[in-house]
């Protein structure tokens, strides 16, 4: 899967509809301070279902809607649409392109779409589960995160490396299996007690 384009309309500083296309390979976004570079990554996090306004540098969710400048009036809604290349079928959808869209209106109403069909946040979260994408995957690394990783203790760093490597999933399954083994041992003991009583 790779990101083909981001369309933003009314999201943060994008008062005019922007359509940013990405080719496979490396893309660099350059611009002066405050010109909206980080707003692009915020848009990606947001459309993937981010529910915390703070994670996208706001106080309340409404802060993602363009709130006007000296020369422009505020907008009533924010919209972001991602287009992903799914030729590899990494996402469990039978289409070469998958688009994800999120809209938020000032009255608090919010809408999600997968391939232009209205859906729920849950469906979007599930779509990205185990795909290595999604808002909790380490696709977007902010400046602060690099610093905190460098400053972290060895055991804290290990947790993150295990998460990225996908080891966490197996650790969780191992814990569940060990618990089931213990329960089975207890059951066996109980059965042996009953057999002893009967013989």
Q: How far apart are the first and last CA of the chain?
A: 64
Rounded to an integer, what distance in angstroms lies between the CA atom of residue 4 and that of residue 170? 32
Task: List binding-site positions.
Answer: 32-39
Helix, strand or coil for residue 144?
helix
Taking the complex as a whole, the smallest distance from the CB of residue 31 to ligand ATP amounts, in Å, to: 5
Taking the complex as a whole, the smallest distance from the CB of residue 52 to ligand ATP amounts, in Å, to: 16
Task: List binding-site positions for ATP.
Answer: 32-39
Rounded to an integer, what distance in angstroms lies between the CA atom of residue 41 and that of residue 152? 24
> Which residues on adjacent β-strands are paired with residue 98?
84
DSSP code for 102: E
Binding site for ligand ATP (CB under 6 A): 12-13, 31, 33-39, 63, 65-67
Of the candidates 66, 79, 62, the residue with the CA atom closest to the CA atom of residue 8: 79
Taking the complex as a whole, the smallest distance from the CB of residue 70 to ligand ATP amounts, in Å, to: 11
Choose between 35 and 115: whose C-beta lies nearer to ligand ATP.
35
Taking the complex as a whole, the smallest distance from the CB of residue 23 to ligand ATP amounts, in Å, to: 21
Contact 104, 65 (CB under 8 A): yes
Choose between 33 and 71: whose C-beta lies nearer to ligand ATP.
33
Choose between 25 and 34: whose C-beta lies nearer to ligand ATP.
34
The token duo for 141 is 């690394």
Choose between 34 and 108: whose C-beta lies nearer to ligand ATP.
34
Choose between 88 and 143: whose C-beta lies nearer to ligand ATP.
143
Contact 42, 142 (CB under 8 A): no
Rounded to an integer, what distance in angstroms lies between the CA atom of residue 166 and that of residue 158? 12
Taking the complex as a whole, the smallest distance from the CB of residue 111 to ligand ATP amounts, in Å, to: 19
């Amino acid at each position: 899967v790779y990101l083909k384009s981001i369309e933003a309309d009314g999201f943060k500083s994008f008062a005019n509809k922007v359509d940013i296309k990405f080719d496979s390979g490396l893309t660099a976004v350059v611009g002066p301070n405050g010109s909206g570079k980080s707003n692009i990554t915020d848009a990606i996090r947001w459309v993937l279902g981010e529910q915390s306004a703070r994670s996208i540098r706001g106080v309340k969710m409404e802060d993602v809607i363009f709130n006007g400048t000296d020369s422009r009036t505020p907008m009533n809604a924010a919209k972001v649409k991602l287009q992903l290349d799914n030729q590899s079928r990494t996402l469990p959808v039978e289409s070469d392109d998958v688009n994800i869209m999120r809209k938020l209106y000032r009255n608090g109403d919010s809408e999600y779409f997968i391939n232009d069909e209205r859906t729920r946040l849950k469906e979007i979260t599930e779509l990205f589960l185990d795909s290595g994408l999604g808002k909790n995957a380490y696709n977007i690394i902010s400046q602060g995160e690099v610093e905190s990783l460098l400053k972290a203790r060895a055991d804290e760093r290990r947790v993150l490396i295990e998460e990225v490597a996908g080891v966490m999933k197996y650790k969780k399954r191992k814990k569940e299996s060990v618990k089931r083994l213990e329960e089975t041992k207890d059951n066996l003991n109980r059965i042996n007690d009953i057999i002893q009583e009967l013989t």
